Chains A and B, each alone.
Chain A
Amino acid sequence: MRVAALPLLLIAFATPSGVPASSAADEGEPPGVPEIYDPALEIPPALTLDVEPASPVDLSTLGPPDFTRDAQMFLDNPPLRLDPSRQVDADE
Chain B
Amino acid sequence: MRAHGSPARLVGAVLVLACWGCGFEGLSQSESGGVRPPDTQIAAGHTQIMEAVNLRLRIIPRSGGSAVDRSIFDIIHPGCNTTGGAISDPRLHYDTFSSRFFFVVLHAPAGTSTPGAWCLSVSATSDALGTWYRYRIAMPNAPNSSGTLVPAFPDYPGLGVGEDKVVLTGNPASGGFLLYAAHSTIAALNKSQVLAGVTVSVNYFTGPYDTSKLFLLQPANVLDATSTGNVHSFGVNAAAANPSTLRRYRVSGIPPSSTVQMTAISFTGNWKAPLFARQPDSATNGYLDALDGRVLHAVFRDGKITLVACVACDNSTRTCIRVVRLDGATITAFYNFGNQAKDYFFPAVTVDAALNQLIVFNASSDSEPASVYITGRRPTDPPQTLRTPRLVKAGIGSYWDGRCSRPCNCIFGNCNRWGDYSGVAVDAANQLDSWAAAEYPIGLNTWGTWIEFLNHNNFPQ
A63-B128 Cα distance, complex, nearest whole Å: 15
User: How near does chain B come to A55, taking the closest CB pair, in angstroms?
Assistant: 8
Within the assembled complex, what's the spacing in Å between the Cα atoms of A31 and B269? 8
Docked-complex contact A13 and B275, CB < 8 angstroms: no
* CB <8 Å contact, B135 and A54: yes
Size of interface on A: residues with Cβ below 8 Å to B? 86
Interface residues of A in 46-87 (CB under 8 A from B): 46-60, 62-67, 69-71, 73-87
B70 at the interface (CB under 8 A from A): yes
Do A1 and B410 have beta carbons less than 8 Å apart?
yes
Cα(A74)–Cα(B177), bound, Å: 16
Contact of A24 among B265, B316, B335 (CB under 8 A): B335
Q: Which chain B residue shows the least CB distance to A46?
A: B204
Once the chains bind, are B206 and A56 in contact (CB under 8 Å)? no
B394-414 vs A, Cβ < 8 Å mask (1 yes, 0 no): 000000000100000111111
Residue from A29, A47, A57 in contact with B270 in the complex, judged by beta carbons closer than 8 Å:
A29
Known: A51-B200, A71-B34, A73-B81. A42 touches B129 (CB 8 A): no
Contacting residue for B2 out of A20, A27, A35, A64, CB 8 A: A64
Q: Which of B87, B216, B329, B403 interacts with A34 by CB under 8 Å?
A: B329
Instruction: Tell me, rounded to whole Å, the shortest Cβ–Cβ distance linking A87 to chain B.
Output: 5
The one of A34, A56, A67, A69 in contact with B133, judged by C-beta atoms closer than 8 angstroms, is A56
Q: How far is the CB of B266 from chain A (nearest CB, A)?
A: 4
| Interface: B100 (CB within 8 A) | no
Task: Find chain B residues with CB under 8 A from A15 CB.
Answer: 388
Q: A12-B341, A45-B259, A66-B71 are in contact. Are A60 and B129 (CB under 8 A)?
A: yes
Q: Which residues does chain B contribute within 8 Å of A66, judged by CB atoms?
A: 71, 73
**Within 8 Å of chain A (Cβ to Cβ): is B387?**
yes
A48 to B205, CA, bound (A): 10
User: Do B340 and A81 touch (CB < 8 A)?
Assistant: no
| Interface contact A42-B207, CB-CB below 8 Å | yes
CB <8 Å contact, B249 and A17: no
- List the B side residues contacting A36 at CB < 8 Å: 263-265, 329
By a CB distance below 8 angstroms, the chain A residues around B33 are 67, 70-71, 74
Contact A74-B87, Cβ < 8 Å, known A42-B262, A51-B136, A86-B239 = yes
CB neighbours (8 Å) of A80 from chain B are: 155-156, 171, 173, 176-178
Q: Are A79 and B265 in contact (CB under 8 A)?
A: no
Report A-chain residues with C-beta under 8 Å of the C-beta of B414: 78
Interface string of A6-48 (1 = CB under 8 A from B): 1011111101111111111011111111111111111111111
Which B residues are CB-close (under 8 A) to A64? Answer: 1-3
> Which one of A52, A60, A70, A73 contacts B85 once the chains associate, using CB atoms below 8 Å?
A73
Tell whether B202 is near chain A: CB-to-CB under 8 Å: yes
Complex: A64 Cα to B156 Cα, angstroms: 29
**Would B314 and A24 count as touching, CB distance under 8 A?**
no
Residues of B within 8 A of A67 (CB): 3, 33, 56, 71
Contact B204 A75 (CB under 8 A): no
Q: In the assembled complex, which residues on chain A have CB atoms less than 8 Å from the CB atom of B3?
A: 64-65, 67
Find the A residue at minimum CB distance from B132.
Answer: A57
For A47, the closest partner residue in chain B by CB is: B204
Complex Cα gap A75–B216 (Å):
19
Quick check: A76 and B35 within 8 Å, CB to CB? yes
User: Judging by beta carbons under 8 Å apart, are A53 and B335 in contact?
Assistant: no
Chain A residues, CB < 8 A from B261: 38-41
A74-B86, A79-B417, A80-B171 known; A10+B178 contact, CB < 8 A? no
With a CB–CB cut-off of 8 A, which chain A residues contact B275? Answer: 2-3
B88 near A74: Cβ-Cβ < 8 Å: yes
Chain A residues whose CB sits within 8 angstroms of the CB of B77 once the complex forms: 53-54
Contacts of B224 in A (CB 8 A): none
Contacts of A90 in B (CB 8 A): 212, 240
- A–B complex contacts, Cβ < 8 Å, 18 sampled: A3-B275, A13-B388, A20-B385, A21-B337, A21-B389, A32-B331, A53-B200, A54-B135, A56-B124, A57-B74, A65-B71, A70-B73, A75-B87, A79-B413, A82-B214, A83-B412, A87-B241, A88-B241
**A residues lining the B interface (CB < 8 Å):** 1-6, 8-13, 15-24, 26-60, 62-67, 69-71, 73-92
The 5 closest A-B pairs by CB, nearest first: A70-B33, A32-B267, A29-B269, A75-B88, A75-B86
